[in-house]
């Protein structure tokens, strides 16, 4: 074992020992997610290094093995055969070298590729020298998909180009022909941008161009860029800083490999909720483009109040359900839950067409639960109600609840969590047009501490964290200001993955 591997293994063993001290106690917390991926304990943020290798899906994530708050970032690691049931693996990459070791830095976001019968990862090593931030790009490889070896001549990209700045991170790679391409997040003069590099061997990288950049209205820094082909176009997704409530954007257009320039025509938001950040995608062996995101917020976001009560139980954060991406006929991004999520379904409750009246108790005494999948289809065209929706996680007095609501007049879809618990605040909103036939379909995944909402087959998504008491498990369908025609309603109780 060489000195780099020895230092790395020692750092991993130290981190694993820290996690093992609290892991069993953390697992007892009733607010732990039942079917979303979490770290075994402590802090988790960005998913990174998504890859399918030797028939199994691998997901890496930023991980602090010493605290339920951000800092001292490592790469946690899990694998799955179905994108839903996950097996935790040893920590993959730990800070151990001068270019990636710092309490306020570490192994930042990166990517993975199955290449030459190995998993090869490129990650951002982040350190500070006094007040000076230093972010560099580094290579590590694994033959078995578990033990990773840092390249002895890291970093492979030691500094930013003139078009960038010291904020120079979150590499994402793909291969086209015999050339590797890398897109990186950066900024200059308070304008976010994505920078493009090329390489023949993933070791020697050459700066090529500014792939795309803000015109002043798309954020001051672009974090976690991901660039990929989809349905005959190219898509750039990123998490912009300095853009108010906007946490994730996508751009759709055409890419010129010769000039390294992306010409986009379509723009949209990835998720309209409060907690869906730093998404990353990969193409699986079925040629699907699959995306995962981090379910939490940063303290610099305008609605942030705290990281929630789970910090007191020595854990914080989780990873979203897998979403499969497509483009519609207008080149808008569609994000649907992967079909594998159906493996979570248990007992099913089904209702056919019905007309709801204000104040009616439609299902309150028939079904309840913390972990549910709900699919409801409304006939908006033939409803007279002003609002219709679903109450989730209701308490006995029904004052505690999360409200998913559609306003038929303004065509606004919202999730109100201000009565969900004693800490969550805010109402997330987006415009959501009915389908051409006048219908609206909502698909809702409720876990112990989060709600993922998909409208009209994934045309609009909204993800929010909530922290109600486990006894608050009621559900009801409602309408106000008139009747609402319900075409169908399905509710499944979802099974835990642990």
Task: Give catalytic residues, as residue numbers.
Answer: 46
Angle at 100 (CA atoms; ends 98, 105), nearest 5 degrees = 120
What CA–CA distance (Å, rounded) separates 444 from 7?
A: 46
Beta-carbon contacts of 498 under 8 Å, excluding residues fewer than 6 positions away, are 27, 34
Residues listed for the chain: 498
Q: Is the dihedral of CA 417, 420, 422, 423 positive or negative?
A: negative
Q: Kindly give the pairing relationship between strand 474-480 and strand 484-494.
A: unpaired
What CA–CA distance (Å, rounded) separates 23 from 26?
A: 5
Q: Are 435 and 335 in contact (CB under 8 A)?
A: no
Q: Is the dihedral of CA 192, 239, 58, 147 positive or negative?
A: positive
What CA–CA distance (Å, rounded) separates 208 from 187?
A: 16
HSE-CB for 199 with a 13 A CA cutoff: 17
User: Which pair of structure tokens corresponds to residue 152?
Assistant: 């002895």
Location of structure tokens 């991004």:
333
Beta-carbon contacts of 484 under 8 Å, excluding residues fewer than 6 positions away, are 355, 356, 378, 383, 384, 385, 388
């Amino acid at each position: 074992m060489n000195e780099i591997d020895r230092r790395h293994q020692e750092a991993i063993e130290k981190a694993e020992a820290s996690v093992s001290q609290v892991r069993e106690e953390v697992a007892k917390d009733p607010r732990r997610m039942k079917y979303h991926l979490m770290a075994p304990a402590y802090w988790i943020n960005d998913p990174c290094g998504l890859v399918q290798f030797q028939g199994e899906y691998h997901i890496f994530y930023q991980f602090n093995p010493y605290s339920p708050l951000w800092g001292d970032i490592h790469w946690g690691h899990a694998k799955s055969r179905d994108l839903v049931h996950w097996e935790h693996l040893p920590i993959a990459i730990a800070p151990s070298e001068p270019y990636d070791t710092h309490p306020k830095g570490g192994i930042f976001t990166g990517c993975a590729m199955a290449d030459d019968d190995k998993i090869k990862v490129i990650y951002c090593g982040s350190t500070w020298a006094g007040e000076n931030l230093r972010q560099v790009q580094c290579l590590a490889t694994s033959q078995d998909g578990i033990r990773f070896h840092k390249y002895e001549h890291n970093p492979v990209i030691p500094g930013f180009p003139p078009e960038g700045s010291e904020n120079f991170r979150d590499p994402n790679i793909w291969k086209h022909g015999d050339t590797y391409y890398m897109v990186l997040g950066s900024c200059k003069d308070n304008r976010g941008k994505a920078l493009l590099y090329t390489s023949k061997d993933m070791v020697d990288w050459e700066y090529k161009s500014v792939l795309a950049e803000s015109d002043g209205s798309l954020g001051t820094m672009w974090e976690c860029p991901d660039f990929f082909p989809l349905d005959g176009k190219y898509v750039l997704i990123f998490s912009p800083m300095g853009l108010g409530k906007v946490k994730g954007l996508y751009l759709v257009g055409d890419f010129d490999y010769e000039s390294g320039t992306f010409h986009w025509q379509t723009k949209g938001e990835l998720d309209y909720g409060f907690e869906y950040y730093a998404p990353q995608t990969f193409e699986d062996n079925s040629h699907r483009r699959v995306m995962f995101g981090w379910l939490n917020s940063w303290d610099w976001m305008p609605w942030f109040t705290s990281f929630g009560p789970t910090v007191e139980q020595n854990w914080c954060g989780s990873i979203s359900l897998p979403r499969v991406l497509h483009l519609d006929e207008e080149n808008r991004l569609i994000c649907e839950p992967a079909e594998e999520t159906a493996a979570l379904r248990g007992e099913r409750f089904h209702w056919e067409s019905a007309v709801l009246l204000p104040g009616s108790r439609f299902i309150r005494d028939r079904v309840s639960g913390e972990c549910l999948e709900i699919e409801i289809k409304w006939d908006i065209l033939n409803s007279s109600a002003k609002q219709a929706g679903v109450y989730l996680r209701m308490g006995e007095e029904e004052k505690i609840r999360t409200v998913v609501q559609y306003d038929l007049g303004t065509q606004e879809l919202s999730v109100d969590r201000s009565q969900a618990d004693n800490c969550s605040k805010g109402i997330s909103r987006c415009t959501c047009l009915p389908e051409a036939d006048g219908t609206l379909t909502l698909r809702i995944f409720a876990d112990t501490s989060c709600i993922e909402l998909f409208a009209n087959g994934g045309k609009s998504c909204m993800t929010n964290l909530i922290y109600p008491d486990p006894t608050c498990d009621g559900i009801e369908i409602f309408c106000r200001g008139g009747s609402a025609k319900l075409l169908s309603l399905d509710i499944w109780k979802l099974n835990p993955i642990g």
